[in-house]
Amino acid sequence: MTPAFFSVISLDEALRLISLFPTMETEKQPVSEALHRILAESAVAGEDVPGFDRSTRDGFALRAKDTFGASESASPLFTLVGRIKTGDHPPFSIGPGQAAAIATGAMLPQGADSVVMIEDTTPIDDSLAEIHKSVAPGTHVIRKGDDARPGQLLLAQGKRLRPQDLGFLAGSGFTAVRVFKKPVIAILSTGDEVRPPESRLNPGEIRDINTRTLAAMVSEQGAVPLELPIAKDDEATLLQALQQALDASDVVLVSGGSSVGTLDFAPRAIAALPDTTILAHGLAIRPGKPTLIARAGNKPLIGLPGHAASAAIIFQVLVKPLIRRITGEKGIRPEERPFTARLSRNIASVMGRADYVRVAIQDEENPPLAVPMLGEAGLIRTLVEAQGLVCVPRDTEGLLQDSSVTVYPL
């Protein structure tokens, strides 16, 4: 079924459509290989971490209340009852006026609740030391369970695992975690004029930009790109290429041929795929109007405009959320967090389409300055010189110089 081309829908409606695609299945993964994977099940602590009270300084473990009033000029003498190395389980306890020499990381003995640093003491001999400083209970001590207690949530489902998260899991005794499988995303560039980058070009031909950009964006999102050979502008060829793409992947991205010209075969080829519905063809945004969203079986198939900047921008605003949806990733990555900037000049816009304007960011000012990079969507340079996107909403005629805008990092 092919609804009328270019009965445009808003980006929000398109995002609602893609939110209906299912998330990936899950798999067990060793923690050592789980960097940047998405947790499919929350990790819950099974034990106290650490499992005992630990000193964070080399010094003397003692009872804080015995140090009350201690100073350089009034330094009480403590009786030393032992020496605790890391890994020791001290067999003695600390009573009033007693202390034990302790190493950083070693277990506090029974009775002790704090540590005085060695710099704040004067050891007299093996059995006596002067303490020059008073401490509060808990000073220089990590308590049992301070990192995690049994039953406590360590990391929530949907979390993209960073190096420190893996360390947390390892320190809590996890050797494997359940994560979402990485989707394979097929990238199919189309066009008789589009040639692989290593080609010698004939007049009228161009090198393929979109496969490279899209594959890298797919990898950056934690999915696996599958780069397919460029397909010719011919419905039968494209249909066959699409079928192969679907057989080998979880999502298909088609670049080019999505518009309404006589050579734009993508919509027709997509409509001819078995068990396939075109959910939308045409987005009320600029660039990217000819974008197509289809469901083939239960797999998403997205037709991206051929213009290099358009394809990349549609990836940012539509495909990225789709990948996050199916990979189960929750939360915003720090590098993708939108920020506020001041617009360097007026931007005019048409009513009826949300304009995604590429902006360069000048950081010397606070708030930073967003400088619009105007230019044809067929030019990749505008995107290279930009560090973000600013949206001029659908029903406004533009934005004024000096207005405060939200920048979505690129």
Ligand X SMILES: Nc1nc2c(c(=O)[nH]1)N[C@H]1C(S)=C(S)[C@@H](COP(=O)(O)OP(=O)(O)OC[C@H]3O[C@@H](n4cnc5c(N)ncnc54)[C@H](O)[C@@H]3O)O[C@H]1N2
Beta-bridged to residue 174, according to DSSP, are: none
Distance of CA 406 to the CA centre of its chain: 19
Let me know: does 251 contact 228? Beta carbons within 8 Å: no
Choosing from 160, 289, 299, 320, the residue that interacts with ligand MOO (CB under 6 A) is 289
**Nearer to ligand MOO by C-beta: 63 or 289?**
289
Tell me if the bond preceding 30 is cis, omega within 30° of 0.
no
Choosing from 159, 182, 281, 307, the residue that interacts with ligand MOO (CB under 6 A) is 307
Choosing from 222, 282, 287, 328, the residue that interacts with ligand MOO (CB under 6 A) is 287
**99/90 Cα distance (integer angstroms):** 12
**Nearer to ligand MOO by C-beta: 136 or 350?**
350
Q: How far is the CB of 314 from ligand MOO (least distance, A)?
A: 7
Q: How far is the CB of 312 from ligand MOO (least distance, A)?
A: 10
Residues 309-348 binding ligand MOO (CB under 6 A) are 310
Q: How far is the CB of 235 from ligand MOO (least distance, A)?
A: 22
Work out the angle between the directed axes of helices 11-18 and 320-327 (0-180°, nearest 10): 20
Q: How far is the CB of 375 from ligand MOO (least distance, A)?
A: 11
- The partner in contact with residue 210, picked from ligand MOO, ligand X, none with C-beta cut-offs of 5 to 8 angstroms by kind, is ligand X
**138/154 Cα distance (integer angstroms):** 23
Q: How far is the CB of 409 from ligand X (least distance, A)?
A: 23
**In sequence order, which residues have a C-beta less than 8 Å from that of residue 212 and are 6 or more positions away?**
197
Q: How far is the CB of 32 from ligand MOO (least distance, A)?
A: 43
- The partner in contact with residue 258, picked from ligand MOO, ligand X, none with C-beta cut-offs of 5 to 8 angstroms by kind, is ligand X
Question: Which tokens belong to 376?
Answer: 């044809």
Number of shown-chain residues binding ligand MOO (CB under 6 A): 9
Binding footprint of ligand X on the chain (CB under 6 A):
189, 191, 193-194, 206, 208-211, 255-259, 264, 287, 289-290, 305-308, 310, 377-378
> Does 286 sit near ligand MOO (CB under 6 A)?
yes
**Nearer to ligand X by C-beta: 292 or 296?**
292
Choosing from 305, 328, 372, 388, the residue that interacts with ligand MOO (CB under 6 A) is 305
Q: How far is the CB of 287 from ligand MOO (least distance, A)?
A: 3
Residues 352-381 binding ligand MOO (CB under 6 A) are 377
- The partner in contact with residue 189, picked from ligand X, ligand MOO, none with C-beta cut-offs of 5 to 8 angstroms by kind, is ligand X
Q: What is the contact surface with ligand MOO in residues (CB under 6 A)? A: 286-290, 305, 307, 310, 377
